[in-house]
Structure 1
Amino acid sequence: MINNYFKIARRNLVKNKVYSFINIAGLATGLAVAMLIGLWIFDELSFNKSFQNYDRLAIIKQNQTFNNEISTQSAVPYLMAEEIRSKYGSDFKHVVMSSGSSTQILAFGDKNITKKGSYTEPGITEMLSLNMIKGSRSGLKEINTIILSETTSKALFGDIDPIDKVIKVNNKQDLKVTGVYQDIPYNSDFKDLAFVAPWELYINNEYWSEKKTNPWRANMFVTFAQISDRADMDKVSAKIKNVKLNAVRAEEAAFKPEIFLHPMSKWHLYSEFKNGKIAGGGIEFVWLFGIIGVFVLLLACINFMNLSTARSEKRAKEVGIRKAIGSLRSQLITQFFSESLLVVGLAFIFSIFLVLSVLPLFNEVADKKMVFPWKEPLFWISSLGFSILTGLIAGSYPALYLSSFQPIKVLKGSGFARIKLGSFAAVPRKVLVVVQFTISIILIIGTITVFRQIEFAKNRPVGYDRNNLLIVAMNTQEVRGHYEAIRSELLKTGVVQEMSQSSNPTTYVAAINNGYEWDGKEAGTQGNFATMAVSHDFGKTVGWQFTEGRDFSRSYSTDSSGVVINESAAKFMGLKNPVGSIIKADGKPFRVIGVIKDMIMESPYKASFRTCFFLDYSWASVFNIKINPESGSTEALSKIEQVFKKFNPAAPFDYKFTDEQYAKKFGDEIRIGKLTSFFAVLAIFISCLGLFGMATFIAEQRTKEIGIRKVLGASLASLWSMLSREFVLLVILSCILAAPIAWYFMDKWLTKYEYRTEFSWWIFALSGAGALVITLLTVSFQAIKAALMNPVKSLKNE
């Protein structure tokens, strides 16, 4: 019996090829989108969960108050871990200081590689539960040691056992390899941790002026913590609140520093803070794509149910005949449900093939390394369960409603008339079409808004010239002490227009200080200033844009006590005539020699950071090289590399283009835009499939009417208009409903950006017009095909 049900179902699919294709393709696409989004959400929610101590790990953050505004940061003073261990040791299993992730040169024999790693106290290996392949987690107890990731070890040593081998770091430190750990999973904040070296090695070799005089002032390091097994994260966080406030000097206490634990479970999805409180983060995108996934799948289900109920009306006589020859209602119900489940089953199979084919591209766009969960029972149970539920819901109308009719009335015609129910029968389908296109138009408006916001920020003046600007890190002593010689050699090549050095690149702020005083400063005024050390020629290299004053010059020996500030700094200080004004930094006076336009060094979506630039060669960490625009990039890079190899032949030539580094600031938004547009296209595709199916069904229903109208002289244009008008009106209604909904959600999304675009009427007009054009193109094919049909064929008796 079951075999017969599916045999009839298969014959119906083959008989109605167009409807079968639309149903299966639309539902398969919807299921594939839901699976992809489900995999993405699972990856986001499982971020960092590969660590055994996930629930007990935290990073120590601090809030500081400046002019009644609370600022949150992860950088803390040098003595933070030591102070917490000494006063609250019973509440913690581990508290470790870290340099944060930085790029270093690792060398063994003739092999040189550049990798990111961290200088950290030994407890980090236990905290992160590193899976040791060779050696042990205690391998960092001696100062001149290092442990490597598996990939880094293979890059340096190949198949040779690395244990006890000595590698050179930045051409100055010889470190013994004492362990190799398994690569940390990609969906982790530590995915790039290629090596770990002892904290003491870093702190003994790095120097800053306040290391001994005032170690609590400079916020330069990262502190990780693991609370005790029986401790409560919130209670421990409250305990250590004043650990810094109780230790700092009076001038630092004025900023009301508050220390707290930010759990690892919130690092990825709750990373944004506003006025000292969590204000969101990646969780917003989880909700966004979760809703999009539900809506896209809903569109596919609407198509399926729409076409299933529409086609079922044509099977009224079949129901009558089968009942007349003895079929029970239960058998008819089973028949309709089996047909529905067969379609859903085929769609589910095709959706898996779609996911497998699209997943590599999806990973690339989403910056993920997801794999299909073949061995996850939860995935299969939830997917199959939802598919079965969809099939039962879609098949419920024909199964329960049509099977209830009396065969005599159906075969006489009265039952068939009852089934059509006049215009009322089409109301549910019209509602579903409106829902479909409302969702599609919202996604179109959202996509346009996201890309407008990206372009708006990209077109923002950055205050300097990023083109042909190269950044080269000063990782080794061989280049640190030879700036003038390297500069001279580079300028001789002809491919370098200018060169300078600075404490950090122009694409981020490395140091923030608050110890500034100036004439007219109001009592109680507090403010952080980005601080950057530069060499002569820095302004010419990056293309500073002066509004007042001049650049640092070798002609003025007094420039060592000069400072260049940006417009935001001048405005914050209230300096009406800034050039010549005196600014004190930690009590030392500096004369303002120039004011430049704001340089966008941090987020392009936020206001520029007030910044002070000092002439200081000792603080340099990067070279800034301006390539001659008349030189080709390949030729220029080759000649620049030769110069650096001359001074440091053992180190790899590691460089970055400033414009590429700046472009990375748009990475998250670009990914969101691409994913949203991808889902919007699929939503429109699914909606159009349904619209095409509905247009085909209506054209079939009105075949005789069209024939009569043609006989009476109706033109092709009037017939096309008659068949298309209803769908156009439905889409216009969708546009009216979609506009306020899209405006509400996108306006809310834009409020997270200080520097943001505004809504324009043309966005809604373009989205609506696009939906109308797509509708007309979709419907017109069937409308024109029906209008061109020979009336003799359409009017002849069955």
Structure 2
Amino acid sequence: MINNYIKTALRNLLRNKIYSVINILGLSIGLACGMLIILYVKDEVSYDRFHDQLPNIYRISSIQYDPNGGQENYNPYSGYLQGPRFAAQVPGIKAFVRVQSDMWDVKKGVDIKVWEVHQVDSAFFSVFSFPLLSGNPATALLAPDAVVISEEVAQEQFGSTDVLGKVMMMKARDEAFKPFTITGVAKKTPQNSSVKFKILLPIRPSAQEEANNDNWFSFFLNTFVLLEPGADQAVVERRMGEVYTANSADALASHEKQYGALGKTVYQLQPMADMHLSTRYRADNGLKDASNPVYSYILSGIALFILLIACINFVNLTIARSLKRAKEIGIRKVVGGDRQQLIAQFMGESFLLSTAAFLAALVLVQLVLPVFNELSNKALAISYLFDLRLVSGYLLLYVLTGFLVGFYPSLVLSGYNPVKVLYNRFTLSGKNYLQKGLVVLQFTLASLLIIGTITIYSQFRYLTTRQLGYDDSDLVVLKHNRIPYERTMPLEAALMQSKAIADVTFKNQGDWGTTARVNGEKQMNFKYETVNEKYLPLLKVSLVKGRNFSKAFPSDSTRAVLVNEAFVKEAGWKEPLGQQVNFWYNEGEVYTVVGVVKDYHFNAVTQKIGAQLFTMKHRNQYGKTFIKIKPGMETAALHHIAGVFKKYFPLSPYEYKFLNEENRRNYEAEEKWKQIILFSAVLTIFISCIGLFGLSVLSAEKRTKEIGIRKVLGASVSGVVTILSADFLKLVLISLVVAIPVAWMAGNKWLENYPYRVSLSWWMFGGAALGVVVIALITVSFYAVRAAVADPVKSLRID
């Protein structure tokens, strides 16, 4: 009997090739999407799980409360003191590891390359499970001149991993090259690790720094602690708070007397297992790949949408196609087949088709995995497929899909009345509400994704075309060792010797932030920029009041500052010129506002413009050079810049960036999501349309004689096409009525994440609705036209 079922199933699949292809294609795409998302989610939740002692590894974090009752700050960082002080005085803490990231210059012969370097404590390899290819993990980081490198660095620097005892010449910025002896070679870090290192150096705070209690208020690195097995996290946290209170009391009182109230700090322990997906304490500042669980939710939802639509296609087409199998079912019942046997047969056919779709999906996953990795910023490998849990997930997906697409149709088909079907008196009962509802659900989901795509595209275009408030075209930025004001003048003169360079200016390196008092006692935090008098004119940043810095006013370098409009607004000034900004913690450092700079986006447009202050203080140093290149002369300019850079910074690697390209990189996340949603919308509408196409074919076949009679009575081709298409278009219109308000609410919620955003407009919904209707009309009309132009004589011929 089983062989008979298999033969019958194969015969039906081969005889009805168009429906087999539609079902297998739709299901395989849906299953492939499900597999890819399972891969993605599995990778997300597997971060850092390879550490043997993971259940006992925590990161020191803290909640810092605003003394004025404002919003609390969740701080994932610590400083030099927290690790050693807590480990020494808190029972239950077995070891600690501080992790600090920086960029160092590394020599290879005469060439210099910048590498990311992680400075860590000697317990690094005893806390974390990073295996060494060579070297002793217990002693590799004990010597102050020791260095542990990854196998990639060993191969690049020496062409071999057999490098123990060899020397690497390295230096931090603004320091001289020093020799470091290689004491260990580590395997490449797993791609699902938050700590990804290439070069490890011992962290070496001075004895003075580790004794200075003021460093309790300095937060710039990550500190991990290993708890004793069985230690109570809550008890350890409480004891950490007691140690902090006792150790910092004098320093806190002195600090508050000098700088004002700091607010309460409460220390916590963040489990390392929660770090990758945490939205409160992010894994950055030397840690990699911090993510957000919402990405997994969105991608899982999209995959579920697509798989659900594919299943809906199967159910609809199987039920609609059942009329052509009615006599087969009737004969099976007459010769003694019971309903359970028929259900088993049709479920078997469903699983046979699901198996074909599952195998096709595996092939699709292998083909599209490189593209998916590019879109999701992952490095997923096909080897993940052989993970026991993942294989179990795929098998569960296969079984559920086979069951879902086969259960309801098998119930419907097995319930046919044999007398009616054998006398051609059988029709599908009712108004097919379920079938119509499934079509509406399909196109509702497709419409949601299309509107989402339009919304994301509009926001992305807005972000990348919004006026920044300054001119970033033809502007090259160099980062270099910090230099005093006096050295900028000969450097500028050397750069200006090329006719390809229009102008040069300088700025501090990195993002500086500080605090000062305005209006007597009001304390403000702001961005602190050190520039010269040419900075604002070169970037074409305009002033709304007052004047720019000028060499005609020598006191500008000691007594004058510029502020932006956001600073003025936060300070509450009606007339900003002449107001004073008091850096009270530096004796006698009081500045007068001489100009107000128009707000411009000094950070990405995804961030709100904050308060900003400019100084020309000569005691501050410059670490960035901005060079304006004349249009069309890039090659000559870059050649000249490279020569000047090597002359002035011979021990530093030459790196340059065009500012407009750097600004574009700020929106890579939006670009990725734009592509993901676009592909999802295309797949969804494609699967929906092939299902709609199959249903329209069946509808036309079922109404063949009706069409013939209408043509004989004078109906036009367009009239027949309209009749065949109208029912389906009604369902599509209903789906739009459902989708549009849901998409409006979801779109507004998503846009709330951006301080500068587009407004949802009628054309977004109108364009999406028109697109869905046109695509559906083309799909339905394709076969309807063929049926309408067919010879009515053949249509009315008695079978």
Q: Normalization by structure 1: what TM-score? A: 0.90
C-alpha distance in structure 1 between counterparts of 2:309 and 2:657, whole Å: 45
Name the SS of the counterpart of 1:223 in structure 2. strand
Q: Distance in 2 between matches of 1:551 and 1:256?
A: 37
Number of the residue aligned with 2:263: 256
Q: Which one of the candidate residues 540, 544, 548 is aligned to 1:547?
A: 544
How big is the alpha-carbon RMSD for the aligned residues of Structure 1 and Structure 2?
2.9
> 1:195 aligned to 2:199?
yes
CA distance in 1, matches of 2:523, 2:79: 19
Cα pair 1:494 1:628 within 8 Å, conserved: no
Per mean C-alpha deviation after superposition, the further-off stretch among 348-357 and 114-123 is: 114-123
Report the 3-state secondary structure (helix = DSSP H, G, I; strand = E; otherwise coil) of the residue aligned with 2:189: coil
- Distance (Å, rounded) in 2 between the aligned partners of 1:211 and 1:457: 47
Deviations 1:645-687 (A, max 9, x none): 2334454312233223322322222222211111111111110
| Distance (Å, rounded) in 1 between the aligned partners of 2:226 and 2:475 | 42
- Which letter does structure 1 place at the counterpart of 2:695? M
Q: Indicate the SS of the match to 1:364.
A: helix
Give the counterpart letter for 2:450 in structure 1: I
**Matches of residues 672-691 of structure 1 in structure 2 within 5 Å?**
672-691=673-692
Counterpart position of 2:480: 474
Determine the structure 2 residue equivalent to 1:333.
343
- Comparing 353-362 with 607-616, which one deviates more in the overlay? 607-616
Pick the aligned partner of 1:376 from 387, 393, 396. Answer: 387
Q: 2:331 aligns with which of 321, 326, 343?
A: 321
Letter in 1 for 2:594: I
CA drift of 1:281 comes to 6.7
TM-score, reference length from structure 2: 0.90
Judge conservation of contact 2:506–2:535 (CA < 8 Å) in 1: yes
Q: Aligned in 2, Cα 1:471/1:271: closer, same or farther, shift over 3 Å?
A: farther
CA 1:797/1:723 → structure 2, altered by over 3 Å: closer, same or farther? Answer: same
Note the alpha carbon deviations across 1:718-758, whole angstroms, 9 max, x for none: 11111111111111100111112222223222223333332
Match of 2:287 in 1: none
Give the match's secondary structure for 2:112: strand
2:544 maps to amino acid: T
Aligned pairs for 1:211-610 (under 5 A) are 214-241=214-241, 243=244, 246=249, 247-248=251-252, 249-251=255-257, 254-258=261-265, 259-272=267-280, 282-372=292-382, 373-414=384-425, 416-417=426-427, 420-421=428-429, 423-424=430-431, 426-475=432-481, 482-505=487-510, 510-514=511-515, 516-521=516-521, 525-561=522-558, 562-585=560-583, 586-587=585-586, 588-610=589-611
List aligned pairs for 1:772-787, cutoff 5 A.
Answer: 772-787=773-788
Sort the Cα spacing of 1:177 and 1:330 in 2 relative to 1 into closer, same or farther, 3 A.
same
Preserved contact between residue 76 and residue 220 of structure 1 (Cα < 8 Å): yes
Q: 1:151 to 1:253 in 2, by over 3 A?
A: farther
State the 1:308 CA deviation. Answer: 1.0
What letter is aligned with 2:261? A
- Paired with 2:475 and 2:433, the residues of 1 have a C-alpha distance of 63
Contact 2:38–2:390 (Cα < 8 Å) also in 1: no
Structure-1 separation of matches of 2:795 and 2:270: 73
Which residue of structure 2 lines up, in the alignment, with residue 753 of structure 1? 754
Note the 1:98-137 alignment, pairs <5 A.
98-99=99-100, 101-137=101-137
**SS in structure 1 of the partner of residue 765 of structure 2:** helix
Per-residue CA deviation, residues 490-543 of structure 1 (Å, 9 max, x unaligned), is: 1112333333333335xxxx33223x112354xxx4432222333453334444
Q: Secondary structure at the match of 1:455?
A: helix
Given the superposition, is the C-alpha separation of residues 667 and 157 from structure 1 closer, same or farther in structure 2, using an over 3 Å criterion? same
Shift of 1:565: 1.7
The residue type paired with residue 254 of structure 1 is A
How many residue pairs get aligned? The number is: 772
Superposed displacement of residue 355, structure 1: 0.9
Q: Aligned partners of 1:503 and 1:727: how far apart in 2?
A: 64
- Asked if 1:44 corresponds to 2:44, the answer is yes
Query: CA separation in 2, counterparts of 1:538 and 1:212?
Result: 38
- C-alpha change, 1:103 and 1:353, in structure 2 (3 Å) is same
- C-alpha deviation, 1:330, in angstroms: 4.4
Residues 618 and 196 (structure 1), Cα distance of their counterparts in 2 relative to 1, 3 Å cut: farther
CA distance in 2: counterparts of 1:38 and 1:689, whole angstroms: 25
Aligned to 1:84: 86
**Deviations, residues 450-480 of structure 1 (Å, cap 9, x unaligned):** 2222233334433332223333222599x99
Question: What is the distance in 1 between the residues matched to 2:166 and 2:407?
Answer: 71
C-alpha contact 1:580 1:591 (8 A) present in aligned 2: yes
Rounded to whole Å, the distance in 2 between the matches of 1:98 and 1:503 is: 26
Counterpart CA distance in 2 for 1:42 and 1:560 is 56
8 Å CA contact retained: 1:172, 1:476: no
* Deviations 1:603-645 (CA, angstroms, capped at 9, x unpaired): 4223212122222455446322223132443433232112222
Contact kept, 8 Å, 2:485 with 2:618, in 1: the verdict is: no
Q: Structure 1 residues 27 and 767, CA, compared in 2 at 3 Å: closer, same or farther?
A: same
Give 1:180's aligned amino acid: V
Match of 2:7 in 1: 7
Instruction: Answer yes or no: is the 8 Å Cα contact 2:97–2:225 preserved in 1.
Output: yes
- 2: CA distance, partners of 1:381 / 1:266: 24
1:592 and 1:217, CA in 2 relative to 1: closer, same or farther beyond 3 A?
A: farther
Find the aligned partners of 1:494 and 1:223 in 2 and give their Cα distance. Answer: 51
For residue 61 of structure 2, give the secondary structure of its aligned residue in structure 1.
strand
User: Could you report, residue by residue, the CA deviation over 1:574-625 in whole angstroms, capped at 9, with x for unpaired residues?
Assistant: 2222233221112421222322123423442232121222224554463222
CA spacing shift, 1:594–1:42, aligned 2, 3 Å: same
Please give the per-residue CA displacement for 1:194-245, whole angstroms capped at 9, x wherever unaligned: 21222227x69xx99x997954555444434333333344543444347276
2-side partners of 1:556 and 1:302: how far apart?
Answer: 76
Question: Helix, strand or coil: the match of 1:395?
Answer: helix
CA contact (8 A) 1:502 1:619 kept: no
* Preserved contact between residue 707 and residue 795 of structure 1 (Cα < 8 Å): yes
Counterpart of 1:72, as a letter, is Y
**Change over 3 Å in CA distance of 1:175–1:534 after alignment to 2:** farther
Unaligned regions of 5+ residues in structure 2, if any?
283-289
Tell me: CA distance 1:546–1:66, structure 2 relative to 1, closer, same or farther (3 Å).
farther
Q: Distance in 2 between matches of 1:630 and 1:732?
A: 52
Change (3 A) 1:469 1:236: farther
Corresponding residue for residue 638 of structure 1: 639
Aligned equivalents of 1:238, 1:619: Cα separation in 2? 42
Amino acid at match of 1:8: T
Q: 1:468 to 1:82 in 2, by over 3 A?
A: farther
Give 2:592's aligned amino acid: R
Amino acid at match of 1:263: P
Which moves more between the two structures, 223-232 or 571-580? 223-232
Specify every segment of 5 or more residues in structure 1 that has no aligned partner in the other structure, as ranges.
275-279
Measured at CA, do residues 359 and 336 of structure 1 come closer, stay the same or move farther in structure 2, by a change above 3 Å? same
Name the amino acid aligned to 1:225: V
Distance 1:211 1:768 in 2: 68
SS at match of 1:374: helix
Q: Percent identity?
A: 33
Does the residue aligned with 1:499 lie in a helix, a strand or coil? Answer: strand
Distance change >3 Å, CA 511–CA 648, structure 1 → 2: closer
Of 220-229 and 312-321, deviating more is 220-229
SS at match of 2:276: coil
Q: What's the counterpart of residue 277 of structure 1?
A: none
